[in-house]
């Protein structure tokens, strides 16, 4: 019984850690995408504001590229106001 509980806790910890790493990549991608979207077509001297907190990722978008795409679209939208 102790072995089963130990294995359960180890698997839970490993799964939680991998999902946190995925979210960190998503958040980093969102921030970079937001800045790129904000400065899209504004020239070389553009200074983007600090990006907002990223929205919760959809299934299969919790990676850098998914965050970048979402951030880029939001940055373009808010940068053109």
- The model carries a pTM of 0.74
Q: Are 39 and 46 spatial neighbours (Cβ–Cβ below 8 Å)?
A: yes
pLDDT tens digits, one per residue of 18-53: 566 788 999 999 999 999 999 999 888 899 999 999
Domain limits for position 13? 2-79
The structural domain count of the chain equals 1
CA–CA distances in Å: residue 25 to residues 9, 10, 30, 78: 25, 23, 9, 22
On the question of pLDDT at 55 being above 70, the answer is: yes
Vertex 9: Cα angle to 24 and 60 (nearest 5): 35
Check residue 21 and give its pLDDT: 75
CB atoms within 10 A of CB 44: 5
């Amino acid at each position: 019984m102790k072995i089963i509980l130990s294995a359960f806790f180890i698997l839970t910890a490993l799964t939680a850690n991998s999902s946190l790493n995925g979210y960190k990549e998503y958040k980093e991608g969102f921030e970079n995408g937001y800045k790129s979207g904000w400065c899209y077509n504004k020239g070389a001297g553009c200074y983007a504001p600090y990006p907002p907190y990223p929205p919760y990722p959809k299934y299969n978008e919790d990676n850098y590229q998914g965050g970048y795409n979402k951030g880029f679209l939001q940055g373009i939208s808010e940068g053109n106001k």
